[in-house]
A = this chain, B = another copy of it.
Amino acid sequence: MSEPASHFQRFRIDVAYDGRRFDGWQSQPEGNTIQDHLQASATKICPGVATVQGSGRTDSGVSAAGQVAHFDVPGDWRMGPVEWQKALNANLPAAIRILNCEAVPADFHARFSAEGKCYVYRIETGDVLPPLLAGLAWHRRGFDPDGRLEEVARLFEGTHDFRSFSANRNDGKDESRDTIRVISSVTVDREEADSIKIGFCGNGFLYKMVRFLVGSAVYCIEGKFPPPEIIALLQGADRDRKAPFCAPADGLSLERVLYPPEFFPKP
């Protein structure tokens, strides 16, 4: 007698996408979201596959270099992770790619196991936004922070109540939600001419939080939102006041989702 098959096998997928082509991550009736395309491809390959679960939503226009999701396949469905990666990519639009696929234990969960995330926000400062970057960067002609971006970034790092730096999702959960987050690092990369890439890593991010932080940093450097006001809002001085500006979705990309090392031991 052969060993009984387990009821299902869970797979983790690492997903990159061009956010310009889709209506965000979250499944919608119209169906042109990342989750919808992943679900349709997985179901086409294996009709019994369970819902594709992401680490979190990304908004319309937001791209990803390292989104993570998982899905469950009936235990008697014999397909390994390399086959799944190839089959999914063969069925997905070219603007969504599975970068990696691996079999994971059933207690791994793309959303609930996540310990943190890293985002990058791109600002382009040249006279003309290059056409290939249209929709992938916030165009702020002539913006020159001249070292002050690093100073503002220091204000964001650490543990704060980021309620004032987030938008309501209008899903009824906002009043009671926990809005304390830890930002472990904010980095500024100016290696490419006319490009500013601001990296955020933290244990979690509220809805539109990175975009509010970027908007606040730019307004601060432009003199419209002085550091003491930023500090006051980060200290929860006025829970009903919002930061004055939310940067556009265009420049945002989800770079990495962080999980406990026990799930993915280094070889």
Mark A residues whose CB is within 8 Å of B.
Answer: 16-18, 63, 65, 89, 94-99, 128-132, 134-136
Are B134 and A89 in contact, with the CB atoms below 8 A? no
Distance in angstroms between the alpha carbons of A131 and B136 in the assembled complex: 12
Distance in angstroms between the alpha carbons of A131 and B89 in the assembled complex: 11
Q: How many copies does the complex hold?
A: 2
Are A132 and B128 in contact, with the CB atoms below 8 A? no
Are A94 and B129 in contact, with the CB atoms below 8 A? yes
A63 surroundings in chain B (CB, below 8 A): 131-132
A16 surroundings in chain B (CB, below 8 A): 130-132
Q: With CB as the reference atom, state the residue of chain B lying closest to A139.
A: B94
Are B135 and A97 in contact, with the CB atoms below 8 A? no
Q: With CB as the reference atom, state the residue of chain B lying closest to A19.
A: B131
A89 surroundings in chain B (CB, below 8 A): 128
In the assembled complex, how far is the CB of residue A195 from the closest CB belonging to chain B, in whole angstroms?
A: 14
In the assembled complex, how far is the CB of residue A130 from the closest CB belonging to chain B, in whole angstroms?
A: 6
A97 surroundings in chain B (CB, below 8 A): 128-131, 134
- With beta carbons under 8 angstroms apart, the residue of B17, B128, B129, B130 that contacts A131 is B17
Distance in angstroms between the alpha carbons of A98 and B134 in the assembled complex: 13
Q: List 8 A-B contacts (CB under 8 A).
A: A16-B130, A17-B131, A89-B128, A94-B129, A96-B131, A97-B128, A97-B129, A97-B131
Distance in angstroms between the alpha carbons of A109 and B90 in the assembled complex: 46
Q: With CB as the reference atom, state the residue of chain B lying closest to A136.
A: B132
Distance in angstroms between the alpha carbons of A26 and B97 in the assembled complex: 32
A134 surroundings in chain B (CB, below 8 A): 18, 94-95, 97
Distance in angstroms between the alpha carbons of A134 and B98 in the assembled complex: 13
In the assembled complex, how far is the CB of residue A154 from the closest CB belonging to chain B, in whole angstroms?
A: 31
